[in-house]
Amino acid sequence: MKILFLSNLYPPNIVGGYERLCFEVANGLAESGHHVTVLTSDYGGKVQDFPNQIVERSLKLFATEGDIYQPFSCSPEQRAAMNVNNADMLTRVVEQFAPNVIFVWNLYFLDPSLLNAIQQIKRSNVFLLTDNWLIAFLNASFIQDYFSQRVYSHHSKPEPQYLLNAKQKAKSWIEKRTKPSFLMRGRAIFASRFMCNLYSEANFHFDGKTIIYHGVNLAEHSEKDFAIRRQFVVKGEVRLLVAGRIVEIKGVHTVIEALPSIIRALPEARVILTILGDDHDQPYMERLHARIAEMEVADMVNFVKPVVEEDLFNLFQNYDIYLFPSLYEPFSLTLIHALAAGIPTIASNVGGNPEIVHHMQTGMLFPKGNAQKLAEAVIRLVLNVNLRQSISEKARKMASHYTFGKMLGEVEKYLEKTR
């Protein structure tokens, strides 16, 4: 096949896991003998060639150079010129490469006009939907309400179930009569049942759709490489780890707020929390440090820089419990690495997390944003030796099914079917 990948970012210019995965899939398909061209942006300024890939870095992102999290501003004339450039680049690459399939990844920080240009090209389109960027493009009000009402909302007291049911019925009745419908030309690959359901709720319709769970490259390890979870890494210490981007949606503040309860319940242990990740979101970092000072836990919290994927296994062996407190999570590759490494894991019960973290089986779940419930889960794991060991063993077995090779094979078959 001749496959054109379309992505806002591409290595070596990366922000998170989406663009890394895009590269790995493109590289895997190229190694399988398919002809791969990538159309991406020049954001970040770094250039690198890859074997068996043609990478065209000519799209213009609507993003602030040097800090993608900062608001972007430009004149209407500049925006129009950037849109013309992006549409022209797409047309030129398609004419030159003549792909069988246009494989659309994350187009966030681009303009919906580029999506319109894709839809008008007479080629098979496949959308890889790991997150909500397409909803944000075409149904911004839905995703804004979703995040404000369900992701970032904080209720001091849950509403009675009968009231929730009544509200949901009323909402469904209204939506059936008022919400817009989005008919997409092309097929969709979703990373989880959660994402598939979210797009359905936002009233998106595709020519076809499937769920292909993302996978990771898991190195072979002997049993002696795994930490013994019936004991702690360092005697007398409870070493907690959070790993991921340090931004509000990852819920790191929930862990900070849980620390005092954990410390009080474990007076004989020294509790240490390590927060590992990209700390470029300075406003959120300032909020975290203020919360740490308020909770009086500064001497128990360490911030460290992120590590490369190849180092994750050894990283997890040096900690006792992995905390994954996201407020919203489509499907996490880091979470798969953690389960594969056998570290007892506690995750929020949102998004795709419950599809791989089965409560009291492959890990523990807690209500997102609920610091007390998170603390209770940590305390339970610390005090229950058998539970730690059982979770570790079952998590490793579960993670062995989420390999990159399995994912790549399923993606290849689906693209072949759509050409």
Q: Is residue 132 part of a domain?
A: yes
State the pLDDT at residue 122: 86
Residue 369 resides in a domain:
yes
Residues 198 and 308 reside in one and the same domain: no
Closest CA to 95 of 33, 4, 34: 4
- What confidence tens digit (pLDDT) does each residue in 155-211 have? 444 455 555 555 565 555 555 545 689 999 999 999 999 999 999 999 999 999 999
- Does 158 fall in a domain? no
Residue 367 lies in a domain: yes
> Based on the domain organization, do 262 and 360 belong to the same domain?
yes
User: Do 264 and 325 belong to one domain?
Assistant: yes
pLDDT at position 157 is 45
* Vertex 105: Cα angle to 102 and 111 (nearest 5): 95
- pLDDT for position 380: 97
Q: Mark whether 248 and 189 lie in a shared domain.
A: no
My answer on whether 206 and 285 are in the same domain is no
Give me the domain span that covers residue 299. Answer: 223-399
Q: Is residue 145 part of a domain?
A: no
- 229-260 burial string, b = 16+ CB within 10 Å, else e? beebeeeeebbbbbbbbbbebbbbbbbbbbbb
45 and 134 housed in the same domain = yes
Same-domain check for residues 192 and 331: no
DSSP letters, 158-194, are PPPHHHHHHHHHHHHHHHHHH---EE-SSEEEESSHH
The confidence score (pLDDT) of residue 69 equals 76
| Residue 167 maps to a domain | no
Residues 233 and 263 in one domain: yes
Q: What is the pLDDT along the chain (419 residues), one digit of tens a residue?
A: 999 999 999 999 988 778 989 999 999 999 999 999 999 999 999 999 999 999 999 999 999 988 887 889 999 999 999 999 999 999 999 999 999 999 999 999 999 999 999 999 989 999 999 999 999 999 999 999 999 999 997 644 445 555 555 556 555 555 554 568 999 999 999 999 999 999 999 999 999 999 999 999 888 999 999 999 999 999 999 999 999 889 999 999 999 999 999 999 999 999 999 999 988 889 999 999 999 999 999 999 999 999 988 999 999 999 999 999 999 999 999 999 999 999 999 999 999 999 999 999 999 999 999 999 999 999 999 999 999 999 999 999 999 999 999 999 999 999 998 87
Q: How many domains does the chain have?
A: 2
Q: Is there a domain that residue 85 lies in? A: yes
**Same structural domain, 259 and 211:** no
Residues 233 and 117 in one domain: no
The reply to whether 203 and 296 lie within a common domain is no
Query: Per the domain annotation, does 144 fall within a domain?
Result: no
We report the CATH number of the domain holding residue 10 as 3.40.50.2000
- HEC assignment per residue over 338-407: HHHHCCCEEEECCCCHHHCCCECCCEEEECCCCHHHHHHHHHHHHHCHHHHHHHHHHHHHHHCCCEHHHH
